[in-house]
Amino acid sequence: MPRILLHVCCGPCSLMPIVHLRDEGWEPTAFFFNPNVHPADEWKKRRDAMRDAAARLDVPLLEEGEPVNPGLWTRGLGGVLQEGERCRFCYRPRVERTARLAAERHFDAFTTSLLYSRYQRHDVIAEEAERAAAAFGATFLYRDFRPWGWDGIAMSKELGLYRQKWCGCVLSMKEAFQQRKEAEKRKAEQKAERTARLAVEAEERRKKKEAIAANLNKRARKARARALAAETAPSL
């Protein structure tokens, strides 16, 4: 059975790649190397979740590296801080180290669980992985694991794995927090708008009921007046 080194970014994202690589006949070994994950406690949570996933799926797990200071990481981007543009510098060291290790340990190929996420730039990942493969004499296996996105989510929840709230680096953490803050603000505004709308509608219904009641009372008074007039009218 051919052996493949699977770079893994976290526990949840590793599940479908492991399952489907095995279905193809590969024997995967997971490799956790993610210096882009900040802060240190987040890095440890993702590492521990990957350990849990590897144990549950009975897949060998290699680990390398330690949490990196977020400030040093950001300075290493050379001013390329925009979301999307900076991602290449996040992918590069991980696929390079995976390609090198795959060549050193004579794996038949390597790939990455980054290809599972619908939020990642697959073209850039593939480009960087192919470049690393050529540089270190390894073989990169491209697979699009995104079609099994919901299966992976369901499985990770079933296994009780830690599910992260941002991509990885401190910049994405701040962006995720800001996006959640904006989403909460929009939700609060929508709730306030709905409350105001319902109050206006309730007031309109109240006035309508009062108008109907007043009209009925008016008609009833007229009917009583006609009846009284009929009773008191002189007989001919």
pLDDT number for residue 11:
96
Measured over the CA atoms of residue 57, residue 148, residue 31 and residue 26, the dihedral's sign is: positive
Same domain for 139 and 84: yes
Element (H, E) at 154: helix 149-159
Can you give 81-146 as a three-state secondary structure string? CCCCCCHHHHHHHHHHHHHHHHHHCCCCEEEEHHHHCCCCCHHHHHHHHHHHHHHHCCCECCCCCH
- 41 and 103 co-located in one domain: yes
pLDDT tens for 198-228 read 888 888 888 888 888 788 777 778 777 777 7
> Which pLDDT score, from 0 to 100, does residue 78 have?
76
The pLDDT value given to residue 106: 98
From 111, 145, 168, the end of a domain falls on 168
Question: Whole domain around residue 68: which residue ranges?
Answer: 3-168
Tokens of 92: 């590069």
The CATH number that applies at residue 16 is 3.40.50.620
Give the per-residue pLDDT at 70.
73
**Confidence check: pLDDT of 234 > 90:** no
Same domain, 214 and 100: no
CA–CA–CA angle 27, 16, 70 (5° rounding): 100
The pLDDT tens digits for 76-100 are 777 776 777 788 988 999 999 999 9
* Same domain? 162 vs 178: no
- Residue 144 pLDDT more than 90? yes
First to last CA, the chain: 117
Q: Among 168, 201, 224, which residue terminates a domain?
A: 168
* H/E segment holding residue 2: none
Residues of the chain with pLDDT > 70, as a percent, come to 92
Is 137 in the same domain as 124? Answer: yes
**C-alpha dihedral sign at 173, 178, 180, 181:** positive
Work out how many domains the chain is built from and give that number.
Answer: 2
Residues 102 and 209 in one domain: no
The pLDDT score that the predictor gives to residue 69 is: 79
Instruction: Out of 168, 184, 205, pick the residue that ends a domain.
Output: 168
161, 215: one domain: no
Condensed to tens digits (0 to 9), the pLDDT of residues 157-195 reads: 999 999 988 777 766 777 676 767 776 778 878 888 888
Residues 196 and 228 placed together within one structural domain of the fold: yes
Does residue 37 sit in the same domain as residue 144?
A: yes
The pLDDT of residue 44 is 95
Q: What percent of the chain has pLDDT over 90?
A: 55
| CA 14/CA 164 separation, integer angstroms | 13
Q: How confident is the model at residue 233 (pLDDT cuts 50, 70, 90)?
A: low
Average pLDDT over residues 130-146: 98
Mean residue pLDDT of the chain comes to: 88
Residues 129 and 196 in one domain: no
Stated as kind and residue range, the H or E segment containing 79 is: none
Shared domain check, 159 and 180: no
Considering the domain architecture, whether residues 156 and 179 belong to the same structural domain is answered as no
Number of H helices, E strands in the chain: 7, 4
Going by pLDDT thresholds of 50, 70 and 90, the confidence category of residue 19 is very high
